[in-house]
A and B are shown apart, each in its own frame.
Chain A
Amino acid sequence: MTDLATPPEERDVPVESHHTDHDDHGAHHTSLGLSNMKLAMWLFLGSECLLFGALISTFLLSKTRFITELAAGNPNVIEGLLPADQAAALAEQGVRGGFSDLPVIFQEMASERSVEAIFDIPFTSFSSFVLLMSSLCMVLAHKATEDGDYKNQRIWLATTALLGSVFIGGQIYEFTAFSNEGLTFGGSLFGSAFYTLTGFHGVHVTGGIAMLATLLILSFRGKLNSDRAETVELVGLYWHFVDVVWVLIFTIVYLIP
């Protein structure tokens, strides 16, 4: 058995021959040792790191500024948080909304100088668990593909997509609940930053579900055999990345007040 971890020049193997075993699974030998497709996926994920890094930074800055301004009773911030009908009624009377006009949830935020009052941590913890579970299913789908176990490949791919859908369902429920509480996208800096960050993540999960559905279709058509395990691995890299981003969001956005 050859140790492929050893560079070709250090063992008695012609470099041309090494092309053969990589080509077997659709990848091409490169001097880096990774296929071009996998390298491209990593570069893409690197750019995604920058995107989510920027969104998380923006969220942290916006949250701090929002809570400071809210606690200080900034009338511009208060007006943005008032329910639309209440804001219109106050405008008709020619007065600006005050602190006591705010929904209770925002009064709690101001008194505790923290945004955590609006979060439902047990519910979001369940969503995090679901996404972690989906990552496990994804890696098992990849392993089943490598092993040529196509029945389990389909089961794990379908389960991953299903768990992703449950996560998205939870996010829609959470957004609706927050909106009913008075936290809207355009109402405050905090709302804009929160919905942009978690919304972008939700869009990425949705994109991942579409990729998983495509893999399932390919599998049922017999076009996803063990020689194409790298295709499953590439989608898996994307899916795990989405999971990793949620690991960060869950702690930084939800758990750290």
Chain B
Amino acid sequence: MTDTLDPNVSGSAAHAEAHGDHPTEKAYWQIFAVLATLTALEVLWSYLGFEGPALVLPLLVMMVVKFALVAGIFMHLKYDLSIINGKYFTILFSFGLVLAIAVYFVVIATFKFQI
């Protein structure tokens, strides 16, 4: 028997341990600063006069990074990896996400959508 299994341990402490080490408050602020900076960069990039892939690809990369930061850190997906069988959950979720995006790209390609 260990101390986390002690019935006197508070729910929040057990919760925190069961879900891995969530970031500190400071880390959340830092992630927000990165997100805000990326948003500003996206807007700046859209005003620089690039066209075609030179405009679209960097915007898509920044969008994906922002998506990953919110899903991984704020939604704790990254930390769910450390729970029991969490890797299976994350793999399952990621597989569904990739599959869904692929299906939508196929649909768009079917209608001859061009960027």
Chain A residues in contact with chain B, CB under 8 A? Answer: 1-2, 4-5, 7-8, 13, 17-18, 20-22, 24-26, 31-34, 39, 42, 46, 49-50, 53-54, 56-57, 60-61, 64, 121-122, 125, 128-129, 132-133, 135-136, 138-140, 143, 146-148, 226-227, 229-230, 233, 236-237, 240-241, 243-244, 247-248, 250-252, 255-257
Contacts and interface: CB of A to CB of B under 8 A. Distances in A.
A24 B108 contact: no
A140 B4 contact: no
B93 A135 contact: no
Given A2-B4, A4-B18, A136-B28, A146 B70 contact: no
Interface residues of B, number: 65
Contacts of A233: 76
B114 A64 contact: yes
Interface of B: 1-5, 7, 9-12, 14-18, 20, 22, 25, 28-29, 31-32, 35-36, 39-40, 42-43, 45-47, 55-56, 59-60, 62-63, 66-67, 70-71, 74-76, 80, 82-86, 88-89, 93, 96-97, 100-101, 103-104, 107-108, 111, 113-115
Given A128-B39, A132-B36, A256-B55, A25 B15 contact: yes
25 contacts: A1-B2, A2-B17, A13-B2, A13-B5, A20-B7, A25-B12, A33-B83, A33-B85, A34-B86, A34-B89, A46-B96, A49-B100, A50-B100, A53-B104, A64-B113, A129-B39, A132-B39, A135-B32, A135-B74, A146-B22, A226-B11, A247-B67, A248-B63, A251-B60, A255-B46
Count chain B CB atoms within 10 A of each CB in A2, A21, A56 and give the residue with the most.
A21
Contacts of A132: 32, 35-36, 39
Interface SS majority for chain A: helix
Contact of A21 (B5, B25, B66, B108): B5
Given A49-B96, A247-B70, A255-B45, 18 more contacts: A4-B84, A5-B20, A17-B1, A21-B5, A22-B14, A33-B83, A33-B85, A46-B96, A49-B100, A129-B39, A136-B31, A140-B25, A230-B15, A236-B75, A237-B75, A240-B71, A244-B70, A255-B46
Contact of A227 (B11, B17, B31, B66): B11
Contacts of A33: 83-86, 89
Given A129-B36, A136-B28, A32 B100 contact: no
B5 A56 contact: no
